[in-house]
Structures are given as C-alpha cells and as structure tokens.
Amino acid sequence: MMMAAAVNQSEAQLSTNFYANSCPNALSTIRNSIRTAISRERRMAASLLRLHFHDCFVHDQSPTITSEKTAPPNDKSARGYELIDAAKARLETICPGVVSCADVLAVAAKEASAYVGGPSWAVKLGRRDSTSAFPDETLTDLPFFKADLQTLIDNFGAKGLSPRDMVALSGAHTLGQAQCFTFRDRIYSNGTDNIIDRGFASTRRRRCPAVGGDDALAAMDLVTPNSFDNNYFRNLVQRKGLLETDQVLFSGGSTDSIVMEYSRSPSRFSADFAAAMIRMGDIQPLTGSAGQIRRICGAVNN
C-alpha cells in the first residue's frame, strides 16, 4: 500500500504541460535532438529506452560520487548518456536551469519509441534530479538476466507494476542487442529446464563462443532488430527468446496468455506498452523542492 500511495502522490505532481510557460520549446528541442541522433545510429532507440528503464528503477546517477554507470548491470552495457547530455545542453541555451535531466530522459524514451515505429504517449513532466547516486540498488532493483518468472513479477511488483506491465515493458527487447555472456548458458545448455529452439541456438552460437567473446553482441530480435513491433512475442512463442528472462515469460507460467495475446495483436501490445511506460515514469520521482535541476546531467550542481 505504501508503494501505491507513493505512485499516486507522484501522479498528482507531474503534468504533461509542466513546461508550457517556463520552457515552451522544451519538447520540440528534445525531439529534434533525439531524432537526429537515432537517424545516425538506429540502435540508439533501444539504448534510450533502456536508460529510462534503469533511471526509473534506480535513482539518478552522478559520476561526481560513486556512480551507477559503472555498477555491474550498467557497466559496458548502458549507453546513450551523451545523447541526453547533448539534448540537455541545447535546453540550457534556451531556458537554463528549467528542464531536469530526468525529464529529458523520459521524453527521449518516448521519442525513441515513436521514431522506430513504436507507440507514442503523453509524457508527464516535472521530475527533478537526484543529488545522490545509488549503485548498490542496481544489483537489487534491476532484473537479473537469469531471474525466474516469480522473481521478475516480485521485482516489478515492488515498483507498483503489474505482471502485465512487466510483460509489456519486456517487449522493448524487440529492439537492441545483448552481450554474449548474458545468453551463453541458454544457447549451450541442453537441460530440460532450458527450452530453446535448436536452430535458433545454433545460429546464436556463431556469434557467441562457448568460451571467450563475452562482449560479442547479438540482436534481441533476429527478424526486425531495429524496428519496434511485436516480433519479440512471436519469437517467445517459437522458443526463440534470447535471454532466460525473455523466454521465461512464455514457459508454461502465468504470463503465457499475455505473451500469446501480444503475439497476435500488435495494437494491444503497443497500447499496453505506452500505458506501462507512463506508469513506470511515475515511480517515486523527485518533485517540488526535492533534489535539483542539474545544469549538466553527468554531475550534481556545485
């Protein structure tokens, strides 16, 4: 109940027109900056969605102290910080000290989704930036790539998100790539608890050796890796989920019916993804006089 109260309170303090008077060109400035960046490297869409997810599940990072950037779940994995910095720098030239880095990231995630064919949504704004970093929380709050279904449900539930939200948000894995070490056990294991299509496993082994090559990348979705669609869920039904936390969503458990629904209905998936992104953005943001508006996203203000 405490979590729900916190979420409901934050919803009342955030507003889609928060910058209408203080920085009326804020959204268009972020939009133009993000679209330009993704047009140069389409993979950045996935990176920006992932950054927003990590930012919502853990407090904001700050490299001036022990940073979350180098915590194990983020090190050599999370990327796109420079795009947020660039968008923030543009905002500082037109309305200095007004738009938070947390809001820039929330809008960037929406623009990233829309640019690659995914849904758009009205982003609620008014977040402020943290003055601390919490690297230890990346280990406890962010889902582990080998987590079982109940652990994932509990992890998302602790943030006020339902199993349906969890499955919808997992659909972001229709974009982007994963490092070899995160799926090696899955493609080389022959255990009965490791359901995987044999042809899919064989294909993945070409880019991920049994030993070494930990940083080698493989697309989460072999079919349309740079487009936002529902192929992720079709892959799961065919036992072609790349990570264990992907395939566990369709493995005889309570979320099978949701996966099947999304595999059949792209429109339902898109609608639920947008709604879940809004709810995720409501997870205990700093508002009012809490925190600060950072001038540079990578460091707290002096």
Residue 224, annotated ligand binder? yes
Q: Is 131 assigned to a binding site?
A: no
Using a 10 angstrom Cβ sphere, with 0-12 exposed, 13-18 middle and 19 or more buried, the burial of residue 260 is middle
52 catalytically annotated: no
Question: Is 221 labelled as part of a ligand binding site?
Answer: yes
Q: Tell whether residue 154 is among the known ligand binding residues.
A: no
Identified catalytic residue from 50, 52, 54, 124: 54
Which residues have C-beta within 8 Å of that of residue 206, sequence separation ≥ 6? none
55 is in an annotated binding site: yes
Read out DSSP for the chain? -HHHHHHHHHHHH-BTTTTTTT-TTHHHHHHHHHHHHHHH-TTHHHHHHHHHHHHHHSPPP-TTSS-STTSTTTTTT---HHHHHHHHHHHHHHSTTTS-HHHHHHHHHHHHHHHTT-------B--BB-SS--HHHHHHHSPPTT--HHHHHHHHHTTT--HHHHHHHHGGGGSSEEEHHHHHHHHH---TTS---HHHHHHHHTTS-SSS-TT-EEES-SSSTTS-SSHHHHHHHTT--SSHHHHGGGSSSTTHHHHHHHHH-HHHHHHHHHHHHHHHHTSS-B-TTSSB--SBTTB---
* Active-site annotation, residues: 54
Known binding positions: 55, 58, 68, 143, 173-174, 221, 224, 229
Known binding positions for heme b: 173
Known binding positions for substrate: 143
Known binding positions for Ca(2+): 55, 58, 68, 174, 221, 224, 229
